[in-house]
Chains A and B, each alone.
Chain A
Amino acid sequence: MSQQQRTSRPSKGSKKSKKKSSPRSGRWLKLLFKLAVVALLILAVVMVYLDAIVQERFSGKRWTVPARVYARPLELYVGGKLAQEDFLIELNALGYQRERSAERVGTYSLNANTIEFHSRGFQFYEGAESAQRVRVSFTNGYITKLTNVQGQPVAVVRIEPLLIGGLYPAHKEDRILVRLDQVPELLTQTLVVVEDREFYQHWGVSPKSIARAVWVNASAGGLRQGGSTLTQQLVKNFFLTSERSLKRKATEALMSLLLEMHYDKDEILEAYLNEVFLGQDGERAIHGFGLASQYYFSQPLAELQVHQVALLVGMVKGPSFYNPRRQPERALERRNLVIDLLASQDVISQQDAEQAKKKPLGVSKKGSLANTTYPAFLDLVKRQLREDYRDQDLTEEGLRIFTSMDPILQRKAEDALQRTFKGLAGRKGIEAIETAMVVTHPETGEVQALLGSRQPRYAGFNRALDALRPIGSLVKPAIYLTALQQPEKYTLTSYLQDEAFSVQDAKGRIWSPQNYDRKEHGTIFLYQGLAFSHNLSSAKLGLDLGLPKVLQTLKGLGLQRDWPAYPSMLLGAGSMTPFETAHLYQTLANGGFNSSLRAIRSVLNAEGEPLGRYPLQVEQRFDAGAIYLTQEALRRTMTEGTGRSAYNKLPKNLRLAGKTGTSNDLRDSWFAGYGQDILAVAWMGRDDNGQTSLTGASGALQLWTNFMQHARPTSLTQVPPDNVVEVLIDPVQGFAVSQGCAGVVKMPYLKGSEPPLGNFCGEAVKPVEEKVQQESEGGFKDWIKGWLSR
């Protein structure tokens, strides 16, 4: 409002003076006067209008900031499973600079198996982690020592999490807001020296440069002419289109004057630092120095050094022309020009300038951990957030989202994907094969990595979440878990008949399942039906148990779909997504405790205040003993059954549980399996649901194995629950043995369901006769050797 009064005053003044002019030239003067009045009135109206725009857009919230999504923070503690090379990858991704000694924040030094680093400090949900200098030593993929610089042990250190993306609105403008006091003084000085040396003196426009710009533009026919003040540049970016005309130039000048009238230099400078366009990353526009620093160097703005500051400020003139990743030579030349300018203006010493010019550009590599997009995982995060937040909150409020994503495991999953397809190259139709993988932590239910397609960088159909496919034999553990919950009827070594049969379903259709090898396997031990994925015995068992019972087990494991109770369900005719399938196996891997798969841990608002938390939720659905037995069958699937080829690449003594799955006509290749701390479900198939040349073992298992080989899961625990006993039994008939002898195996049973004693190692002996038995042991062994060699 005050502006309106100021602009209207001069016109009143001129009106009075015009009345005293001579009558002779009156006609012309009158016209001129009228024109001037009209012009001034128009100008006044324009000024009022522009002022309203300036004030409205500049006061209050100037920008909407997309939510930032962070990976899990790395936790360091003695005994923690972390390979030194993986730690270095993460440090580099976080923009830590290697130096001889880690004195400054954001640096590290490396000495054999010990890394010293100076962490940055970070605001987490449960409180702030302060910046600290720490030494960490590694041996064989584990942290063996963690101390401060004085050598005193430190219990646990958490490093700031890697930024893995943002949730952008439609226009995809991205920025990290910085306050002026967070900006290194060198940066503002450089900016002023390079772009607008009179910044602190002018009123928003520099008449000299306007004149020059008009002249040059007129004579050169619209060529871009710099020389606008920082205020004008801000106005141009903030309020105006990129059109270059005299009218726009005038508007820009007027608005600049208005801006300077209302706001002080620091506010304008701070706005400029956050608004300036510094590059294009696909559809995402990089705005402001805060984000540019992360985008080009993976470092916070405060840590930038002379050569980095010079590069960023140099890029203001033309972010794509001087793009350091695409035009490194041009960018280097421009950077060095800026450094020289700084020295000539005495901002830095000549010596510092020489040193800075010797440094490489130092931009982080595109596609490195620091500079990668994770569309599949972010898609999951977005979907889970949408249950609690409005879209607008996510794209505009600058929320900080903390997820469970493990960028190191994600990278290993992506590497495994590459290796797997390389290994499958040359197979018929392999080009059309798509894939997905879900990686979770069995004991927390947290999603650690996600592959949604064969091209992990491509944000398209997210197969991990949306590919709804028949799960084939992945359904079978539900049948066996149903059986093993009835220890009075079934144990792992009960006998099953694997033979052809037919049943009529409710609609009168005849169903005659077949084994994959089209053979019958006769009498088998119960666990073998699962381990070798025999269809006949598994389906028969499921029918004996009753379809509703098996469906109930599936629901307990986490199935949320309504599958019709058809017999074909027992062999996996029902469809699920890889993500849902991971949920089923999660319950198996977590001792019968169901928890929904979570990708988000907590949310902070833009000011770092806690907003929401996604706590651990568990629900016991099954007896731990029955789960343990089912897991034993799945473990044997890996050592002797359909999953055994995994051990071509994995260490033999690594205890894992898993299951292959293949749908009808080889349309879907599945594998689900886990160790103590990593669970992964892999799927391969065609988007058009066509036939592939892959079984669960030749396709998805390869991806799974390639992943586990580098992900290094911890062996499954061998501590059975309270109600389980482990019994030594003979491997031929499955009877308990009263004493050990060659060939016997260990098998878990629910207490009370142990098998009766047999005669595999000789006569059952009473404890009193122990001595006699020991004497005759040799004889029994000879006897066994005798028939073994037969």
Chain B
Amino acid sequence: MKNKSLAFLMAATVLSGCGTLRPSIPVVDAGAPVTPGAMRDRDARQGAVVTESRNEAPVAYGAPESQYVKPDTGYAPSAPIQGEEFDAPLHTPESIYESTAPSTPTPIAAEQQTSAVVAQIEPPVLALLSTAQQQQNQGDLNGAAASLERAQRIAPREPQVLYRLAEVRLAQGDAQQAEQIAQRGLSLSSGRPALQAGLWDLIAETREKRGDAAGAAQARQRARISL
């Protein structure tokens, strides 16, 4: 959510600054012939330059137009971009390791996460979360944190583990680290609004602990946006 707002902010900056921003790249006379650079490409496409002008000026979606030369100038970098072609599906598990893994943790984006319940978590992580809960209940916060870090090593990209770790750190009195760990959790919980809201609430708590009322209010606001 923070990222989204960041994006809004950036888009706003870009839009407002569009007319005045000059490219930092040296301006090249578009009429001059462009020499293709050395052939570094393994494919056959390189060096190809679109020369025909078939289009109107491209639509700019609030994009930093200024950094692009117009597509009808025929001006292009000396070597084309290589890599995956468009017919490759956008989110294929590409690693042979991943694809042969029968039960690696589900990619976060694939989860249909609606609440912060622990139901979709892999059994080893679930087991450690419950161990940590027991330790916390018994007042063994150090043990709980250590068990949660064990879980984090098994599933480093599972934000619910980071959520719990942030909670325990907060209980231990380390509000600073609690917020940072929650932020890390946020950066991994895209598409999981309930969890994002929970993390923002937790961040609000850490800020309250540190006497940052304004920051806390801001975090609460974010939590509401997430939900």
A79:B103 contact, CB within 8 angstroms: yes
Q: Interface residue count for A (Cβ, 8 Å)?
A: 112
* 19 additional contacts (CB under 8 A) given A488-B13, A544-B24, A733-B77: A139-B102, A495-B68, A497-B26, A521-B37, A522-B36, A591-B184, A620-B183, A640-B42, A717-B157, A719-B109, A721-B187, A723-B7, A729-B81, A731-B83, A742-B86, A750-B7, A752-B10, A754-B61, A756-B59
| Inter-chain contacts of A731 with B (CB < 8 A) | 45, 80-83
Q: Which of B11, B38, B144 contacts A521 (CB 8 A)?
A: B38
Please state if A655 and B124 are interface contacts (CB–CB under 8 Å): no
Contact between A488 and B55 (Cβ–Cβ < 8 Å)? Answer: no
Across the interface, do B100 and A620 meet the contact criterion of CB distance under 8 Å?
no
Considering only residues 1-18 of chain B, those with a C-beta below 8 Å from chain A are 1, 3-4, 6-7, 10-11, 13-14, 17
Chain A residues 726-764 with CB under 8 Å of chain B are 726, 728-737, 740-747, 750-760, 762-764
Q: Convert A170-190 into 0s and 1s, putting 1 for each residue whose CB lies closer than 8 angstroms to a CB of B.
A: 000000000000000000000
> Inside 8 A of B6's CB, which chain A residues have their CB?
623, 625, 723
Pairwise interchain contact B180-A756, C-beta atoms closer than 8 A: no
Min distance, Cβ B11 to any Cβ of chain A, angstroms: 3
Stretch from B112-120, B145-153, B205-213, B217-225 forming part of the interface with A: B145-153
Q: Are B76 and A142 in contact (CB under 8 A)?
A: no
List 19 interface pairs A-B (beta carbons < 8 Å), by A numbering: A77-B122, A126-B144, A141-B100, A156-B128, A487-B10, A488-B10, A495-B68, A523-B77, A592-B187, A601-B146, A616-B152, A714-B95, A717-B157, A743-B45, A745-B83, A752-B61, A755-B63, A756-B71, A759-B72
Given contacts A613-B146, A640-B83, contact A489 B68 (CB under 8 A): no
CB-based nearest A residue for B179: A620
- Contact between A591 and B105 (Cβ–Cβ < 8 Å)? no
Nearest chain B residue, comparing its CB with the CB of A534:
B37
How far is B21's CA from A404's CA once the two chains are assembled, in angstroms?
A: 49
Which residues of A sit under 8 angstroms from B87, Cβ to Cβ?
740
Interface check A602, CB cutoff 8 A: yes
The reply on A618 being an interface residue by CB < 8 A is: yes
How many angstroms between the C-alpha atoms of A751 and B55 in the bound complex? 25
**Cβ contact within 8 Å between A615 and B85:** no
- Residues in A whose Cβ lies below 8 Å from that of B76: 523, 732-733
- By the criterion CB–CB under 8 Å, are B101 and A760 in contact? no
Bound CA–CA A141/B100 (angstroms): 9
Q: How large is the interface on B (under 10, 10 to 19, 20 to 34, 35 or more residues)?
A: 35 or more
- In the A-B complex, list the 3 residue pairs whose CB atoms are closest, starting with the nearest: A715-B95, A752-B11, A77-B124
Chain B residues in 8 Å Cβ range of A522: 34-37, 77-78
Q: How far is the CB of B223 from chain A (nearest CB, A)?
A: 15
Contact with B along A697-732 (1 / 0, CB 8 A): 000000000000000101101110111001011111
A residues 76-102 in Cβ contact with B at 8 Å: 77-81
Q: How far is the CA of A732 from the CA of B45 in the complex (A)?
A: 9
Closest chain A residue to B5 by CB distance? A723
CA distance A593 to B187 in the complex (A): 10
A639 at the interface (CB under 8 A from B): yes
Instruction: With both chains docked as a complex, state the minimum distance between the C-beta of A618 and any C-beta of chain B, in angstroms.
Output: 5
Asked if B190 and A722 make an inter-chain contact with CB atoms under 8 angstroms apart, the answer reads yes
A756 contacts B61, C-beta separation under 8 Å: yes
List chain B residues, Cβ under 8 A from A746: 83-84, 86, 88, 90
Q: Within 8 Å of chain A (Cβ to Cβ): is B79?
A: yes
Contact yes or no, A618 B54, CB < 8 A? no
| Chain A minimum-CB-distance residue to B51 | A787
Q: Which A residue's beta carbon lies closest to that of B81?
A: A731
Chain B, residue nearest A532 (CB): B40
Supposing A522-B35, A734-B77, A741-B86 touch, asked if A620 and B3 sit within 8 A by C-beta, the answer is no
Whether a CB of chain B sits under 8 angstroms from the CB of A267 is: no
Q: Provide the bound-state CA to CA distance between A728 and B88, in Å.
A: 11
Do A757 and B59 touch (CB < 8 A)? yes
Q: Does chain A have a CB within 8 A of B127?
A: yes
Instruction: Give bound CA distance, A87 to B77, whole Å.
Output: 50
Smallest CB gap from B143: residue in A? A126
A393 on interface, CB distance cutoff 8 Å: no
Residues of B contacting A487 in the complex (Cβ-Cβ under 8 angstroms): 10, 14, 64
Residues of A with C-beta under 8 A to B75: 523, 733
- Binary contact readout B151-165 vs A (1 if CB under 8 angstroms, 0 otherwise): 011101100000001
CB <8 Å contact, A494 and B67: yes
A732 near B49: Cβ-Cβ < 8 Å: yes
A523 touches B184 (CB 8 A): no
> Distance in Å from the Cβ of A711 to the closest Cβ of chain B?
11
A446 to chain B, nearest CB (A): 8
Smallest CB separation, A51 vs chain B (Å): 46
Interface string of A513-533 (1 = CB under 8 A from B): 000010101111101100010
A187-210 Cβ-contact flags toward B at 8 Å (1 or 0): 000000000000000000000000
| With A488-B13, A718-B94: A444-B35 Cβ-Cβ less than 8 Å | no
Docked complex Cα distance between A754 and B156 (Å): 30
Name B43-61 residues within 8 Å CB distance of A: 44-45, 48-50, 54-55, 58-61
A169 within 8 A of B: no
CB–CB A751/B10 < 8 A: yes
A754 and chain B: residue at smallest CB distance = B63
Residue of B nearest to A524 (CB): B77
A493 touches B (CB below 8 Å):
yes
- Cβ distance A606 to chain B, nearest Cβ, rounded Å: 19
A620 to B2, CA, bound (A): 13
Give the contacting residue for A616; candidates B88, B135, B154, B165; CB below 8 A: B165
Q: Do the beta carbons of B181 and A125 come within 8 Å of each other?
A: no
A651 contacts the other chain (Cβ, under 8 Å)?
yes
A700 to chain B, nearest CB (A): 21
- A715 and B94 form a contact (CB under 8 A): yes
Let me know if B184 and A81 touch, CB within 8 A. Answer: no
B10 touching A750, Cβ below 8 Å: yes
Whether A764 lies near B180 (C-beta < 8 A) is no
| Residues A619 and B180 in contact, CB atoms below 8 Å apart | yes
How many Å from the CB of B170 to the closest CB on chain A? 13
- A651 close to B45 (CB less than 8 A): no
Is B107 a contact partner of A717 (Cβ separation < 8 A)? yes
Q: How far is the CA of A754 from the CA of B107 in the complex (A)?
A: 26
B64 and A489: CB pair below 8 A?
A: yes
A735 touches B68 (CB 8 A): yes
Cβ-based interface call for B194 (8 A): no
Would you give the shortest CB distance from B46 to chain A, in whole angstroms? 9
CB closest chain-A residue, reference B88: A746
Give the residue of A722, A732, A737, A754 whose beta carbon is less than 8 angstroms from that of B80. Answer: A732
Q: Which residues of B contact A714 (CB under 8 A)?
A: 95, 97-98, 104
B54 / chain A contacts, CB cutoff of 8 Å: 759, 762-763
Is A1 part of the contact surface with B, judged by Cβ < 8 Å? Answer: no
The reply to whether A734 and B68 form a contact with Cβ atoms under 8 Å apart is yes
Decide if A712 touches B97 in the complex (CB within 8 Å).
yes
* Contact of A426 with B by CB under 8 A: no
A722's contact among B7, B72, B94, B131, by CB below 8 Å, is which? Answer: B7
* A757-B82 contact, Cβ under 8 Å, with A78-B123, A125-B146, A142-B102: no
Chain A residue with minimal CB distance to B72?
A759
